[in-house]
Amino acid sequence: MFGSIARRYDLANHVLSCGFDFLWRNRAAELIAGWNPKKVVDLAAGTGDLTLALQKALPHSDIVAADFSEEMLAIAKAKGVKNVVVADALALPFGNRFFDCLAIAFGLRNIKDRSAALREMARVLNDNGHLLIMEFSLPRISILRAIYRFYLHRLIPVLGSLLTGKKSAYDYLGDSIEEFPEGETMLRLIESNGFRKASAEPLSGGIVTIYTAEGSGGSPSRHGD
Ligand SMILES: C[S@@+](CC[C@H](N)C(=O)[O-])C[C@H]1O[C@@H](n2cnc3c(N)ncnc32)[C@H](O)[C@@H]1O
């Protein structure tokens, strides 16, 4: 699905989010820069907008964009992403504890076995490393939630179809946001799969949430040891 919309993906993102996606990725890059990681992977990096923000925020760090769509990564490369790796999030081609930071923006929602994906992320992250997950969520305030749901289910499929020619991808977007865990459920999911100290920061009234957590701190129960 992502391969088929790769060429129009960025345009659709910027239009459908009214440009807010730049702010969200900049906030993610700002948080990550505060951890000062040396080795970073942007997982499910797609066309690389977060990777580019990270390259700018952390000019002396090694940053790699990983995704299983070659079409998306080709666009990332053309936009200036330096290191790309074709990789499935469920079987990452990296050693245990290789990274100081793993970021995944709008990616986890698309992976069916989220627990397995999180355990694989925990495996490649060093014990004191940081995880950042950025995902869509639903606003808490009911009037905002109702307006957002109208936009998500009625307008986005039409606009997405006009911009990319793939209505199904944008029907899927709304459905996948509805079923994605958020709040406490999401924090528990993260902490039960190899991470500690999970916390959430809602952005733009709660239509996006950044979840952060730390590596296992050497917990013996960690997968892959
Ligand atoms: C909505 S896009 C997000 C791209 C980018 N992170 C962004 O912020 O725009 C989701 C990406 O996840 C990738 N993806 C989905 N499942 C994956 C998996 N199992 N392994 C690696 N990448 C995956 C898709 O190829 C796609 O590029």
pTM reported for the whole predicted model:
0.92
Q: Token pair for residue 149?
A: 């749901």
Residue 106 confidence (pLDDT): 96
* Ligand 1 neighbours by CB, cut-off 6 Å: 2, 44-46, 49-50, 67-69, 72, 88-90, 105-107, 110-111
What is the distance between the alpha carbons of residues 163 and 11, in angstroms, rounded to a whole number? Answer: 8
Q: Ligand 1 centre and the CA of 17: distance in Å?
A: 17
Residue 171 confidence (pLDDT): 85
pLDDT tens string 64-104: 999 999 999 999 999 999 999 999 999 999 999 999 999 99
Does pLDDT of 166 surpass 90? no
Q: Ligand 1 centre and the CA of 220: distance in Å?
A: 30
Does pLDDT of 203 surpass 90? yes
CATH superfamily of the domain spanning 2-137+182-214: Vaccinia Virus protein VP39 (3.40.50.150)
Residue for token digits 């996606």? 21
Q: Ligand 1 centre and the CA of 46: distance in Å?
A: 5
Which stretches within the chain are classed as H helix? 2-16, 20-35, 49-57, 70-78, 114-124, 142-150, 156-164, 167-179, 183-191
88 CA closest ligand 1 atom index: 20
**If pLDDT is split at 50, 70 and 90, which confidence band does 225 have?**
very low
What is the distance between the alpha carbons of residues 209 and 30, in angstroms, rounded to a whole number? Answer: 15
Residue 218 confidence (pLDDT): 54
Q: Token pair for residue 151?
A: 């936009």
Domains of the chain, by residue range, sit at 2-137+182-214
Q: Ligand 1 centre and the CA of 121: distance in Å?
A: 14
